[in-house]
Amino acid sequence: MLTFLRIFAYLKQNDMQFKDIAGQRDVINRLTEIIDSGRVSHAQLFLGATADGSLQLALAYLQYLCCEHRQHYDGGELRADSCGECPSCKKLAQLMHPDLHLIFPNAATSKVSGSSIWSGDFMADFRDFVLQHNALGTLDEWYATLGTENKQGMIRELDASHIVSDLALKSYEGGWKMMVIWMAEKMNIAAANELLKTLEEPTPGTLLLLVAESDERLLSTIRSRVQTVRLKPADSLQAAAGSEEFAKLLVEWLRLLFKLKMKELSAQVDRMAAMNREQQKQFLGYALGVMRDCFLHGAAGLPVDIGSGDQKFDAMFPQMVTVNNIELINTALNEALFALERNANAKIALMQLSFSMSMALKKR
Ligand SMILES: [Zn+2]
């Protein structure tokens, strides 16, 4: 149990950097260019499914905006990113920056109820939820975490008046005052009208990021006042993340399972968890197929083209999968698949899988 808690604490050191977001490279490069040129629009709408990374992107965007040591890369797919190390990055990654305000759908629960509830009453739960799900948790998952017992959450007038008053405050750290409204389409009419006033007369130094899965339910008066950042849908990402990418990811992971160096393994698990849930499941399905191939061919001493581009590895690895451990490997992968299907925390499920796989491989 102790080990598990320690792993959990380790995994909880979250990062909100662009590099951890699956795909969206073109969108990200455009965003960093705009920030670098100092033409940041005070009201923006990040449009895309949460599971595809719309909230992740909004948070990484803020981290880059406030980063004290922005990193620029030459020639890479990703042209710039926040440093992840400076005080501002650290505070934002933990959602603890004093100038970051969060608003999200909420509803009465068995613990918190009454006519004056608003997002602030659920802030600690929401922070945990976002961090544990790497900002990919869906609205249904959030309601399940809250325990709203089938009541639909909403963003109400009281939430909107907090938006207005929070943004009217002086910035604590002298920089941007940032407001993220997650699932902005859940604003009711009263809240939307209240928000409209802020959009019409923004106080200087404020940044309002609306994150929504659909803009159909947003008032057209709001839509016309925000700059829209449209995420690429996961379908097109999935086509990009073909078996070649899976192969690369799998080989890197398998190599680390032998070394079992915590830091490297954790970084690799982060990369796997950065895919959306559908891709994670496809990846594990792919891994199951490769393991079966290795078992069938390894026994006969035949190499398997795992896609490592390394003949030595292709010849060596299949011999690690034998009659002694194929069942263990199968079970570990299937259990992880099952956990992901039931919306378990991806990092924890993949880390547990890594340990089970590592032990299984040693039992060849
Ligand atoms: Zn930084």
* Top-confidence residue, 234 or 208: 208
Q: Could you tell me the two tokens for 122?
A: 């659920």
| Residue 87 CA, ligand 1 centroid: distance in Å | 7
CA 81 to centroid of ligand 1, rounded, Å? 9
Give 197 or 101, the one with higher predicted confidence.
101
Distance 344 CA to ligand 1 centre (A): 30
Between the CA of 282 and the centroid of ligand 1 the distance, in Å, is: 33
What single letter denotes the amino acid at residue 304?
V
Q: Higher confidence at residue 230 or residue 75?
A: 230
Distance 16 CA to ligand 1 centre (A): 10
73 alpha carbon – ligand 1 mean position (Å): 15
Residues 204 and 265 placed together within one structural domain of the fold: no
Q: Are residues 82 and 129 in the same domain?
A: yes
Quote the pLDDT of residue 115: 85
Residue 119's domain comprises 4-230
Q: State the Cα–Cα distance between residues 214 and 139, nearest whole angstrom.
A: 13
Please tell me whether residues 269 and 354 are part of one structural domain: yes
Domain check: are 256 and 293 in the same one?
A: yes
Phi, psi of 104 (to 5 degrees): -155, 165
Contacts of 335 (CB under 8 A, 6+ apart): 353, 356
Confidence of residue 46 (pLDDT cuts 50, 70, 90): very high
Average pLDDT over the chain, rounded to an integer:
87
Ligand 1 geometric centre to CA of 20 (Å): 15
Helices (H) and strands (E) in the chain, counts: 16, 7
Among 211, 230, 249, where does a domain finish?
Answer: 230
Q: How far is the CA of 98 from the centre of ligand 1 (A)?
A: 16
Overall pTM surpassing 0.75 (yes/no) = no
Element (H, E) at 44: strand 43-47
- In this structure, the answer to whether residues 214 and 277 fall within a common structural domain is no
> What is the Å distance from ligand 1's center to 104 Cα?
26
255 and 308 part of one domain: yes
Looking up residue 71, the CATH number of its domain turns out to be 3.40.50.300
Q: Could you give the CA distance from residue 64 to residue 58 in angstroms, rounded to a whole number? A: 10
CA of 213 to the centre of ligand 1 (A): 28
Report CA(84)–ligand 1 centroid distance (Å).
5
Weakest mean pLDDT among 9-18, 22-31, 341-350? 9-18
CATH number at residue 334: 1.20.272
Distance 127 CA to ligand 1 centre (A): 20
Give the tens place of pLDDT for each residue, 27-41: 999 999 999 999 999
Q: For 240-283, what is each residue's pLDDT tens digit?
A: 445 678 888 899 999 999 888 888 999 999 989 988 888 888 89
Residue 65 in contact with residue 59, Cβ under 8 Å? no
Q: What is the pLDDT of residues 300-352, one digit of tens each?
A: 777 777 777 778 888 888 888 988 999 899 999 989 988 888 788 999 999 99
In the sheet that holds 227-230, the strands lie side by side as: 100-103, 177-182, 206-212, 43-47, 227-230
Say whether both 55 and 174 belong to one domain.
Answer: yes
Please indicate, yes or no, whether residues 268 and 357 belong to a single structural domain of this protein: yes
* Same domain assignment for residues 288 and 176: no
pLDDT at residue number 235: 57
Of 180, 213, 230, which closes a domain?
A: 230
Could you tell me the distance, in angstroms and rounded to a whole number, from the CA of residue 92 to the centre of ligand 1?
A: 9
Predicted confidence (pLDDT) at residue 93 exceeds the cutoff of 60: yes
- Residues 191, 250, single domain; the answer is no
Cα–ligand 1 centroid distance for 93 (angstroms): 10
Distance 23 CA to ligand 1 centre (A): 22
What total of structural domains would you count in the chain?
Answer: 2
Q: How far is CA 59 from CA 46, 191, 267, in A?
A: 10, 23, 19
Beta-bridge partners for 228: 45
What is the Å distance from ligand 1's center to 333 Cα?
36
